[in-house]
Amino acid sequence: MPQNPTDPAYRCFETSQGSHTNNPSPTYESHNGFEALIMTVLMRKPLSVFALAGAAQAHMSIFYPPPLGGAPSINKQSTNIDSTFNFPLGCCGPDGGDTLDSPGICRGHLDKFDTEEATVTWQPGQDAYFQLTDFTYDPAAVGGTHSGGSCQVGFSVDKGKTWKVAASYHGACPHPTEDGSPEAQTFDFKVPTGMPEGDALFGWVWLNREHESFMNCAKVNIGTGSGDSYPAQPEQSAQPSPQPEKPEYNAPAPPAPTSVAAVPPPQGTVGVTVTTVVATTIYQTSPAEPTETGTDDSEDSESEDSDSNDSDNDDGHGYNAHQKVKRNTRRYVVDGSRCDCRRDELTLAARCFCDTSDSAVERKALRMHRRTFYKRVDACNWDSAPAMEVSYFTHDANCAPNAKEHMPESDDFELSWDVSCGVVAESQYQIKPMTCDMYN
């Protein structure tokens, strides 16, 4: 944790929910990390329990596609760590608040578009996905989901000068769970039809209920074709992002699929129930999925015997590596149990592995997982896709500048955008349309 109260990372951590004061900043002499922060802040200023909890968790960033400026264990082309990569844009100014200039498009890493290669190829109109992570870039700002918010993703084909929307998540982005792993934070969308072929910027914008804004980008390649009738699965290049190998237990090899069949766990596997469900209707009109290629250490290499948590291992650049992520896996928390669910790429069979022997929990997880097969977002057409704003909430923002200063209390609603395509609405909160003057 930063020891110097003038360190921007220190100030952002101390005021991550927007509460700030004229009192002197707390110091750390013989105290122990975050406990010292809690005790000192409680003595010097009143904070709600919600704000205090928010200060402890912090923020999210893109895991997949590998983001420009991401940690070397997430983007293999990165050579250093941006310790503020998952900080809110504009965090933090001289008074400890969010008053700095925005670092710019793609959180200041736009220049890497010219020096890095695209690590994923998407076809126009295909089903695609992105993943978020609560990976901690600075020990003073531990990653966390903020229990939701609203997100937009889109593309730029002119190196960030203009953007068009691909999908809008009206609430529940990130998913409102304490689990910030990529397996639990996977979001589906469709690449706009009619996108021009070539390299493009993929951009993710997140607005949370604490009036903080975030942006990360990835360099992707758009393949040929209009995409009007070709919903394919993502194709990876020869250098894909590392896909963390979880769960913490060893999953048995998939059996041959049946229509609906309970599959008992293999001998020696304790507390794991498995069910196989074939769900083919959503894929019947789709062509065969592209063959994924990769090096020996790519996501195709799935060693079930590897350590499930590499967070204590150095990534070769003097920093902790991102824990391994299980490929093609969605994670759900059901009645207090964790279930990792997968769809076999050849048989299209859905299977869940839960850390409980309760078959009812496993059946619930399967129902949740099957819904992701049918919950498909409509594709925007590139020529008519809505423009995407990427500058929010900072004092120099294009939209809703100084939102946190004007509205220090957290919202009890989540945001939507006035768009006609690519909408995903799953929020448990009231939804209000985003307008650039709503926090004035």
- DSSP-derived 3-state class of residue 112: helix
294 pLDDT higher than 70? no
- Tell how many helices (H) and how many strands (E) occur in the chain: 5, 17
Element (H or E) spanning 55, and its range? helix 49-57
Where residue 293 falls among pLDDT bands split at 50, 70, 90? very low
Between 247 and 416, the higher pLDDT residue: 416
pLDDT at 229: 47
Q: Which two tokens stand for residue 19?
A: 């509460």
Q: Evaluate whether 317 touches 303 at the Cβ level (below 8 Å).
A: no
Where residue 127 falls among pLDDT bands split at 50, 70, 90? very high
Mean pLDDT of the chain: 73
Element (H or E) spanning 368, and its range? helix 359-374
Where residue 23 falls among pLDDT bands split at 50, 70, 90? very low
CA distance linking residue 57 with residue 146, whole number of Å: 7
pLDDT at 324: 83
Q: Lowest-pLDDT range, 143-152, 179-188, 299-308?
A: 299-308
Place of tokens 């207090």: 336
Q: Which two tokens stand for residue 426?
A: 């799953």
Share of the chain above pLDDT 70, in %: 63
pLDDT, tens digit, 9 for 90 and up, residues 311-353: 345 554 445 677 788 878 888 888 889 999 988 878 778 889 9
Q: Which two tokens stand for residue 306?
A: 């590897």
Q: Lowest-pLDDT range, 2-11, 15-24, 56-65, 68-77?
A: 15-24
**What is the mean predicted confidence (pLDDT) over 257-270?**
40
Where residue 282 falls among pLDDT bands split at 50, 70, 90? very low
The phi, psi pair for 260, rounded to 5°, reads -150, 110
CA distance linking residue 361 with residue 355, whole number of Å: 10
The phi, psi pair for 36, rounded to 5°, reads -65, -40
Share of the chain above pLDDT 90, in %: 45
**What is the mean predicted confidence (pLDDT) over 239-244?**
43
pLDDT, tens digit, 9 for 90 and up, residues 48-85: 333 333 333 458 999 999 999 999 999 999 998 899 99
As beta bridge partners, residue 349 has: 278
How far, in Å, are 88, 109, 132, 179, 202 from residue 60 at the CA level? 9, 17, 7, 11, 17
Cis, bond preceding 254 (omega within 30 deg of 0) = no
- DSSP-derived 3-state class of residue 283: helix
pLDDT at 133: 95
Q: Which two tokens stand for residue 173?
A: 């982005």
pLDDT at 61: 95
174 pLDDT higher than 90? yes
- DSSP-derived 3-state class of residue 143: coil
Q: Which two tokens stand for residue 315?
A: 């990534």
The percent of the chain in helix, strand and coil, each rounded to the nearest 5, is 15, 25, 65
Nearest to 204 by CA among 307, 276, 135, 131: 131
User: Which amino acid type is present at position 4?
Assistant: N
Is 179 exposed, middle or buried, given 0-12, 13-18 or 19+ CB atoms closer than 10 A?
middle
Q: Which phi-psi region, left, alpha or beta, contains residue 42 (left: φ > 0; alpha: ψ -120 to 50)?
A: alpha
pLDDT at 28: 31
Q: Lowest-pLDDT range, 18-32, 92-106, 416-430?
A: 18-32
Nearest to 199 by CA among 217, 220, 182: 220
| Domains of the chain: residue spans and CATH | 56-227+376-433 (2.70.50.70), 329-372 (no CATH)
Angle of the 49-57 helix axis to the 33-44 helix axis, nearest 10: 150
Q: Lowest-pLDDT range, 13-17, 129-133, 197-201, 218-222?
A: 13-17
Pairing of strands 260-263, 274-278: antiparallel
CA distance linking residue 34 with residue 361, whole number of Å: 36
CA distance linking residue 201 with residue 430, whole number of Å: 32
pLDDT, tens digit, 9 for 90 and up, residues 93-107: 665 565 788 999 999
Q: Evaluate whether 11 touches 94 at the Cβ level (below 8 Å).
A: no
CA distance linking residue 19 with residue 11, whole number of Å: 11
pLDDT at 4: 46
Nearest to 299 by CA among 347, 235, 231: 235
Query: How close are the terminal C-alpha atoms of the chain, in Å?
Result: 34
Q: Evaluate whether 122 touches 130 at the Cβ level (below 8 Å).
A: no
As beta bridge partners, residue 431 has: 414
pLDDT, tens digit, 9 for 90 and up, residues 27-47: 333 333 333 333 333 333 333
- DSSP-derived 3-state class of residue 98: coil
21 pLDDT higher than 60? no
Q: How many CA atoms lie within 13 A of 326 on its CB side?
A: 24
Pairing of strands 150-156, 164-170: antiparallel
